[in-house]
Chain A
Amino acid sequence: MTRLADIVVEDALLADACAGREPAQRALYEALAPATASLIRRLVGHRALAEDIFQDTMMIFFQRLPEFRCEAPLGAWLRRIAVSRCLMYLRSPWQRARLCLEPVDCGVAAEVAALITPGYTGELIDLERALATLTPTARAVVWMYEVEGYSHEEIAREFGRSVSFSKSQLARAHRRLHAWFVSAEQRPTCSVI
């Protein structure tokens, strides 16, 4: 999994893109968009909603690009925009209402099915299934901490919550995943058909 914050962009390309030259902006889009889309899909889950948030994120990115001061890597700056858009969505009353109305099993099955590609091994399919059993907030915390390398303090700041919120969400998610994998030993294992 390529971390958005690790993507390096050449200074000349960045300068051209900041100056509004379209070929450079296109090259930036092609370099950064796949990792951005992956991150948003992971945090939001729902494909159509993820597309909407991706569009917003990239629009904000290009709109604010001239203000970029190179104080952090460009990927980290874009990641911050993407994460804040995703969390804004996860906190919205609309999202909460949607979660209450949707049957949990249908949502999980659809999310897992959408994510799995022919490159997946049985182990990774199990991992996707386990992840899909977490609440969106817990999944976002797990992803930000384990994959994106956020600290508990940074997660707390992004969510507007306390550090203990981040720690307890992560601890609970780990316990839940552990329980899922232990109980999965009694089920037949997955295999790619």
Chain B
Amino acid sequence: MQRDLGQPAAFARLLRSLPDEALPPYGWREFQQRAGRRPLARTSRYGTGALAAVTAIAAGIVAVSLRVDQHAQQAQWSQQASRAVLAAREPPDTRGGAANARPGADVPFGAARTEALERWLASLPDNPPLVQVGPRAAVTGLEDRLAEVDDLLSAERMDQARPTHLLALQQERRLLVSSLAQVRYAEELVDESR
């Protein structure tokens, strides 16, 4: 029977047969009392709209002032300081001099490099403090594609597939990890420059 439960159809059937909670966590009176004591975690639509407008205006002002600042004050000490910070945050392959100045530079895709990039990616925060919609969408897409390739790789390995298939998937995986590292690195650079 337990073997059957591992099958999706049997599992779904059993999931639907799980018992309901017979009662809500508390009754109507308690709900009303709590509603009176606690405001909604989310503000009203109008409140949200106003907040979004104010935030957008504030972000615009900050962006313009940062741009003006950037051109007006490019002091030597600040450049050195940001270079030092960025050096510590660069992905592994970018520390090798002029030839390897970017994560996308033409270096051979070895397993060791992919592992190093993955370690670096894992060390980054999940939610960068400042995120732009474009790069974030790219990161999400790449992560989804990586998950898909990982699934395919596991399935191929379990089915003992042809080595050429495995090789092609591994190659695609390396390219995806490399692309992901480039986008995340770009995010880090933007974050540091603000």
Contact = CB atoms under 8 A, between A and B. Distances in A.
A33 B19 CA distance: 15
Contact of B147 (A160, A168, A174, A189): A168
Contacts of A34: 20-24
B28 A37 contact: no
Contacts of B145: 164
Contacts of B28: 25-26, 29-30
Given A127-B5, A164-B145, A181-B6, A146 B140 contact: no
A120 B25 contact: no
B69 to A, nearest CB: 29
A1 B148 contact: no
A179 B158 CA distance: 13
Interface residues of A, number: 58
Contacts, number: 127
Interface string B79-119: 00000000000000000000000000000000000000000
A96 B19 CA distance: 29
B151 A123 contact: no
Interface residues of B, number: 41
Contacts of B24: 29-30, 33-34, 36-37, 54
B6 A178 contact: yes
Interface string A162-180: 1011001101101101111
A148 to B, nearest CB: 10
A63 interface: yes
B185 to A, nearest CB: 21
Contact of B126 (A2, A96, A126, A143): A96
A38 B20 contact: yes
B2 A181 contact: yes
A54 B23 CA distance: 13
Nearest to A26: B28
A74 to B, nearest CB: 16
A161 interface: yes
A38 B20 CA distance: 6
Nearest to B2: A181
A109 B183 CA distance: 39
Interface in A8-57: 25-26, 29-30, 33-38, 41, 50-51, 54-56
B7 interface: yes
A143 B41 CA distance: 25
Contacts of A128: 18
Contacts of B26: 51
Contacts of A160: 140
Interface in B134-152: 140-141, 144-145, 147-148, 151
Contacts of B14: 123-124, 127
Nearest to A119: B19
27 contacts: A1-B16, A1-B18, A1-B19, A25-B28, A30-B27, A30-B28, A34-B21, A37-B21, A55-B35, A55-B38, A62-B35, A117-B19, A123-B5, A123-B14, A124-B14, A126-B2, A127-B14, A146-B11, A146-B15, A169-B147, A172-B147, A172-B151, A174-B8, A174-B11, A177-B6, A178-B7, A180-B6
Interface of B: 1-3, 5-8, 11-12, 14-28, 31, 34-35, 38, 40-42, 126-127, 140-141, 144-145, 147-148, 151, 154
